[in-house]
A and B are shown apart, each in its own frame.
Chain A
């Protein structure tokens, strides 16, 4: 389920300060795998930060190429996740390498989590997670363990901003299609 009460005027940029811990007291919505982090003007999202297994850094760069290739070959491969953007980073803290995975999407992660697991399993997009410390080895058959890892390593935002708040990727695509359709119509009128 999703809360539409905060979703106002898309023409009015909005920011939302989020309490420590990531939840608004008394407004916590329950999902299938636990409480759902709130939808903000920047839609839903996660920021997963985890330490990589020492020496595995090259695997991440290889993984990037695999993802690029997979999406080029099958552009709708990640469609079920209702994404806007994904960003992957590697950075050092005290000589140890950490991985950061940030996503902005239109549906709470729990909703399609089994689908996410199955995409990773089916397409070989899995390797990068297996190079994180503490990642469950049986993740392919144990969605709850996968989700627990994601939840344990998620660092909730304390502030989020949307230039066009709460607008979904589908709505944006519809608007662009409409623009293209009008453009085509004008061409036909020449």
Chain B
């Protein structure tokens, strides 16, 4: 049985938010940080609370900390040392391995996210802009009351129109393939595989390999917690649309190119099931839109190119130990919508997402290092993920096709990493534990 009343809601629930805001914080002294957390704690809802009241609530709050942040709150060195190496190092130190080089390098990140004094994130999801504004003012007042608490930066979230389904600025339908955990009561959609052991995502529970091991100490701190890899990815919408026009003469051809990059039509319809023509009804139908495999249905990539984004992020039955590599994605889009007919306006827009997992090195970093940025993925050579891979204009994208494949050379970068961080998302009791830490060591 999962401790629904102790698990932060973001791990288990999706909320009907159209806006939101991330605030990135630094604690100049431990007492101030703990005062901030104590004041915010009553607003941080568990999965149980959110499940019971989603329809009535207008805002949902989560908090998480970097390793430096846990130290800044006063967590002792013995406890800090029990966190895994990759979390202790942080995302900046792992940049090269993650593919965050060139334009994606932390030197170019914004919002102070590459700073070692990034300590915490407060995540607000709000039903509408008015509620966000109200919360923003309230939080500003709280920060002002807490000595030594500084806001390094903020990011406002905005859903992109049309609002009746989740999608990114490129227009791709999102949230189609999410893992389901045992004990949540959720039923996986057809094709999504069986429910996974909760320990793949929540600390303190058995995972696909057995009982939990090597958890951060004390147990109250780690139980019902998880890790979140934050990624702020700018989407270059103008460049993406130019690319589609360059490689497709008709709107239909342009849509097909967009689909080949992703592995799904922008409607969400998977190319395996709709290889030649978009099928929006299929894309919108969760009972059908994930019900496919690659090994039997598309072994050579004639429908979904071997190097497409979807095939890399979830190779399904063409990779080993998939159950140990799954990721939960949460987050939202930010920035204004660029109208279809509008020219690139230079404004930053993109996705600000969290990848949630029990082991950053085994799950998030594996996906990033081996699936997204490995040029040798599926023996492709000279390719990386066409949507989120590190692209410097020298790589290619191959589209299998009879009699001969189409090869696009000089693939541009459609996205740029603008920031990121590793956070620990404690359970509610663990948050309480953190608020009660003594001031035994200087922050």
The residues of A with any CB-CB pair to B shorter than 8 Å are 1-2, 4, 29-33, 79-80, 106-107, 111-112, 114-115, 118, 121, 138, 140-144, 168, 170-171
Contact = CB atoms under 8 A, between A and B. Distances in A.
Contacts of B197: none
A51 B181 CA distance: 43
A33 B89 CA distance: 12
B373 interface: yes
Contact of B375 (A4, A30, A31, A114): A4
B374 A1 contact: yes
B85 interface: yes
B320 A1 contact: no
Given A1-B369, A2-B375, A141-B209, A31 B381 contact: no
A121 B321 contact: no
A4 B382 contact: yes
A121 B366 contact: no
Given A2-B376, A111-B369, A142-B213, 11 more contacts: A2-B375, A4-B375, A4-B376, A29-B96, A32-B365, A32-B366, A112-B320, A121-B209, A141-B209, A144-B85, A168-B376
Nearest to A28: B96
A141 B375 contact: no
Interface string B59-83: 0000000000000000000000000
A111 B319 CA distance: 13
Contacts of B86: 32
Contacts of B214: 138, 141-142
12 contacts: A1-B369, A1-B375, A4-B375, A4-B376, A30-B96, A32-B366, A33-B361, A79-B320, A111-B369, A111-B374, A144-B85, A168-B379
A166 B155 CA distance: 46
Q: 10 smallest A-B Cβ distances: which pairs?
A: A141-B213, A80-B320, A30-B97, A2-B376, A30-B96, A1-B373, A32-B365, A115-B321, A170-B379, A114-B362
Contacts of A115: 320-321, 324
Nearest to B373: A1
Nearest to A174: B379
- The range of chain B's interface size is 20 to 34
Contacts of B382: 4
A33 B361 CA distance: 8
A142 B94 CA distance: 20
Given A4-B381, A118-B321, A142-B213, A32 B369 contact: yes
A44 B361 CA distance: 21
B99 interface: yes
A2 B214 CA distance: 30
Nearest to A33: B361
B375 A143 contact: no
B322 to A, nearest CB: 11
B362 A143 contact: yes
Residue of B85, B320, B375 ringed by the most chain A CB atoms within 10 A = B320
Interface of B: 84-86, 94, 96-97, 99, 209-210, 213-214, 320-321, 324, 361-362, 365-366, 369-370, 373-376, 379, 381-382
A1 to B, nearest CB: 5
A152 to B, nearest CB: 16
Nearest to B378: A170
B96 A107 contact: no
A22 B321 CA distance: 30
Contacts of A31: 97, 369
Given A1-B99, A32-B86, A171 B379 contact: yes
Contact of B97 (A32, A80, A143): A32
A107 B365 CA distance: 16
Given A2-B375, A4-B381, A141 B210 contact: yes
Given A1-B374, A30-B96, A32-B365, A114 B379 contact: no
A1 B376 CA distance: 7
A123 to B, nearest CB: 13
A171 B380 CA distance: 11
Contacts of B213: 138, 141-142
A2 B374 contact: yes
Contacts of B97: 1, 30-32
A79 B320 CA distance: 9
A119 to B, nearest CB: 8
Contacts of A114: 321, 324, 362, 366
Contacts of B209: 118, 121, 140-141
A107 B379 contact: no
A69 B210 CA distance: 26
B324 A118 contact: yes
B400 to A, nearest CB: 14
Nearest to B208: A118
